[in-house]
Structure 1
Amino acid sequence: MQKMPKWADAVLIPLFSIIIAFFFSGIVIWAIGKDPVVAIQTMVKGAFGSTSGLGYTLYYTTNFIFTGLSFAVASHTKIFNIGGEGQAMVGGLGVALVCLAVPWPHWTLALPAAMVGGAAFGAAWAFIPAYLQAKRGSHIVITTIMFNFIAAAFLGYLLTKVLKKPGGMASETESFPVGAHLPTFHEMLAPFGINFNQHAPANISFLVALLCAFLFWLLIWRSRLGYEIRAYGNSETAAKYAGINPTKITVVAMLISGGLAGLMSINNVMGEAERLIDNAVEGAGFIGIAVALMGRNHPVGIVLAALLFGFLYQGGAELSMWEAIPRELVIVIQALVIMFTGALDNMVRRPLEKLFLIFGRKKEGS
């Protein structure tokens, strides 16, 4: 069967999948006695209708860009890294240790150091499953899942026994010094006369995430290492024949993947909470898998998919608040989007392929 054009695979399939997902979501909303049109209007207004809502949407989007890129790097090597959640947790520890270690005079010095700390800790947490996969044949899915739980338990211990704020009741560290506080969109846009909500958590990490997406593109499609990653992912046998070291590619890809997951912490730990708290990742590592799958492991697609899930998170919160629709229903909507863009991908793909085949034959016959 004739393959679809790349633009159709990248645009049409996700678009139709999202439309179908929202259609069934509307049925679910209607079934509980609510108006689907009012619900979607509330979500759009809550996510994009004010600088406050937009700030939260972009905050969630930033998290999902990092974790989506993290999964995509490993995915290009045909490695299913489900450990982004744990790698982001441990990356948060690295960011916190860097921010608390020095009385930083300004964020321009603290941010690069925190990025190194978060990426290094996230990469280190990914190294062990990578080594076990490359050298011992351990299944990467099993080991990364296990390491998520280990990371949660390890971080919980540190926040209650070692790093806990003296005299505090919550499982959290001391607040970072003022010099380690990142500028928010309110502070960044104020010099240009743009009034952005000062309480919205969106910060300069969003720009860092976009930069990482661009660097991801350079790495995967414009570098020798990226070529080796893609070659190994497409055919391990051919890659070995070409002299590509499987152990090296597996470990390096996982180190980059873990580093990107760890970088997420500059947004939620350094930018929003300004301290390390328990369960700071809030499932972003798992959402990153759906983001990467929906974005076809391409940085542009990942950014757009991350924005969609940022909209679902913030719009869902508004929906729960103003329309008395349970928060769990938003999770159902997210699940439907994931299901139709991932598990039921062929349900949309095959009819479109047949349509392109029919039109292709008509074009040839004319």
Structure 2
Amino acid sequence: MSDSTPGAHESARSGAPEQLPAASGPLTGQPEVAPPPRSNVFLKELLRGSAVTTILAIVLAMIAGGVLIAFTDDDVQEAAGYFFARPGDTLAAIWAAVSGGYEALFRGAVFNPRGNSFAAQIRPLTNSLGFAAPLIAAGLGVALAFRVGLFNIGARGQILVGAGFAALVTFGLDLPMWIHLPLTLLAGIAGGALWGGIVGVLKARTGAHEVILTIMLNYVAFYFVTWMIRTPGLLQKPGTNQPITSETPASAQFPELLGAGFPSLDWGFVIVIAATVLVWWIIERSSLGLRMRAVGENPHAARAAGIGVERIYVYAMLFAGGLAGLAAMNQIQGSITTGFSGTIDAGIGFDAITVALLGRSRAWGVFAAGILFGALKAGSFSMQAQGIPVDIVLVVQALIVLFIAAPPLLRTVFFLPKTDLEKAAKARAKAAKKAVTA
């Protein structure tokens, strides 16, 4: 006991001052530093959060869209010619153009106060939900792959193969609805899963990069399905030489959810909600989701922990392809039932990447982002009717993703508090600059 005590005192005396905890209080002569109020900490964390960043990205994109609307408006351009003589005319024209454009967007996407009935007034909202359904389904597939560390940009090919497979297998059948509808749905999901699974197997077995694989398979799917649609006896509609398929059988179509007054909203949206819940449960609550997230964070550490990384890659792409197939079924069983061509994906495969990024690869985030983009698409028609180029909506979508991908830019524009990582990076850069100048 006597031997150990002096050693302990020596180690305490030899300890460097910077290794000892900072002392404060009345006996040390240093004022006590009170911790910041909990309300301040909560506010700072809230402003740093992804939800605020997403909302501000949308606001900033809408402001930029308003500038574009003003610049492309004929009345604004005319009033700008004599701006210095009567600047009020230019400002009034800008306000009329921007407010009119976004009022048309709201009227076409959410609520139309000009409707002669309540059904007509809320029909825009159901149109937005109808447009959102395939975006959400495909976005979930892209987001799930993101969580596993895979950049799946092959949703377009998976949608095409899902639609083609379902049409080839089930369109010629004569079955009651309670069999025909789910059979067609499952066939489309299986077709998309098959096409996505090819990527997973090649990635697992050969190490080929999924970006190259999905890009190439998009082309293969497009030309393969287009060939089937142009070939009599396969998918081409009998009695015509046009590249279009037969109509979706009535017994395979999704029934309307709220009746004939709301044709854009069908039971496919309910299935998409169920798919969102399923993806959330798989990723966030299941043991498979735990392994997927581990692989996405660090595949080498996951492999060292005994997780079959290659198997997880295959599972992830099967799920991603199946969800893209669900998006295809929302198209051919709901939106487009008069026959489809090789453009049945309608850009949904690439929009799904945007939706997944905006939703930060979280199931409910993707759901909300899909509804937002569905609303933008539905409202773009009303904006176009007012003479506003529909491309402005696409610019707004692109700007939302740009600002989402650049949080430091948003924090600079809106004077938000920096994160600890950003503060540390700034301190390191400042120290390095000081060392160079010294």
Aligned partner of 2:253 in structure 1 is: 181
1:124 to 189, 194, 217: 194
C-alpha contact 2:46 2:52 (8 A) present in aligned 1: no
Aligned partner of 1:310 in structure 2 is: 374
2:407 to 339, 345, 357: 345
Counterpart Cα distance in 2 of 1:118 and 1:65:
16
2:344 to 273, 276, 280: 280
Instruction: Give 1:179 deviation, angstroms.
Output: 1.4
Aligned partner of 1:92 in structure 2 is: 163
- Distance change >3 Å, CA 231–CA 152, structure 1 → 2: same
1:39 to 101, 107, 113: 101
SS at the partner of 1:264? helix
- Distance change >3 Å, CA 346–CA 251, structure 1 → 2: farther
Counterpart Cα distance in 2 of 1:219 and 1:7:
30
1:228 to 282, 285, 291: 291
Counterpart Cα distance in 1 of 2:354 and 2:147:
15
Aligned partner of 1:261 in structure 2 is: 324
- Distance change >3 Å, CA 231–CA 349, structure 1 → 2: farther
C-alpha contact 1:21 1:333 (8 A) present in aligned 2: yes
Aligned partner of 1:11 in structure 2 is: 51
Counterpart Cα distance in 2 of 1:313 and 1:170:
28
Structure 1 residue 77 corresponds to structure 2 residue 148: yes
Q: Greater CA deviation, 236-245 or 276-285?
A: 276-285
Counterpart Cα distance in 2 of 1:59 and 1:70:
18
C-alpha contact 1:55 1:197 (8 A) present in aligned 2: no
Aligned partner of 2:117 in structure 1 is: none
Which residues in structure 2 correspond to 1:185-334 (within 5 Å)? 185-187=257-259, 197-198=261-262, 200-274=263-337, 275-321=339-385, 323-334=386-397
Aligned partner of 2:62 in structure 1 is: 22
C-alpha contact 2:48 2:418 (8 A) present in aligned 1: no
Instruction: Give 1:6 deviation, angstroms.
Output: 7.9
C-alpha contact 1:123 1:262 (8 A) present in aligned 2: yes
Alpha-carbon displacement from aligned partner over 1:78-134 (angstroms, at most 9, x marks no partner): 10000011101111112223431421211x322321222111111111122222222
1:66 to 122, 137, 155: 137
Aligned partner of 1:191 in structure 2 is: none
Counterpart Cα distance in 2 of 1:165 and 1:97:
11
Query: Which protein, 1 or 2, shows the higher relative CO under an 8 Å CA cutoff with sep ≥ 6?
Result: 1
Instruction: Give 1:356 deviation, angstroms.
Output: 8.8
Aligned partner of 1:360 in structure 2 is: none
Q: What is the count of residue pairs matched by the alignment?
A: 345
C-alpha contact 1:87 1:126 (8 A) present in aligned 2: yes
TM-score scaled by length of structure 2: 0.74
Counterpart Cα distance in 2 of 1:282 and 1:155:
14
Aligned partner of 2:4 in structure 1 is: none
Gaps of 5+ in 2: 1-40, 74-93, 112-120, 422-438
Instruction: Give 1:8 deviation, angstroms.
Output: 5.2
Instruction: Give 1:330 deviation, angstroms.
Output: 2.1
C-alpha contact 1:104 1:177 (8 A) present in aligned 2: no
Instruction: Give 1:217 deviation, angstroms.
Output: 0.9
Counterpart Cα distance in 1 of 2:106 and 2:420:
33
Instruction: Give 1:354 deviation, angstroms.
Output: 2.0
Answer with 1 or 2: which has the greater Rg: 2
The one-letter code of the counterpart of 1:180 is: A
Counterpart Cα distance in 1 of 2:310 and 2:184:
29
Gaps of 5+ in 1: 188-195, 358-366
1:143 to 195, 203, 213: 213
Q: Which structure is higher in helix share?
A: 1
TM-score scaled by length of structure 1: 0.88
The one-letter code of the counterpart of 2:249 is: P
Counterpart Cα distance in 2 of 1:145 and 1:73:
18
Fraction of identical pairs, as percent: 32
Counterpart Cα distance in 1 of 2:299 and 2:345:
34
SS at the partner of 1:354? coil
Aligned partner of 2:10 in structure 1 is: none
Instruction: Give 1:266 deviation, angstroms.
Output: 1.8
RMSD: 2.3
Instruction: Give 1:338 deviation, angstroms.
Output: 2.1
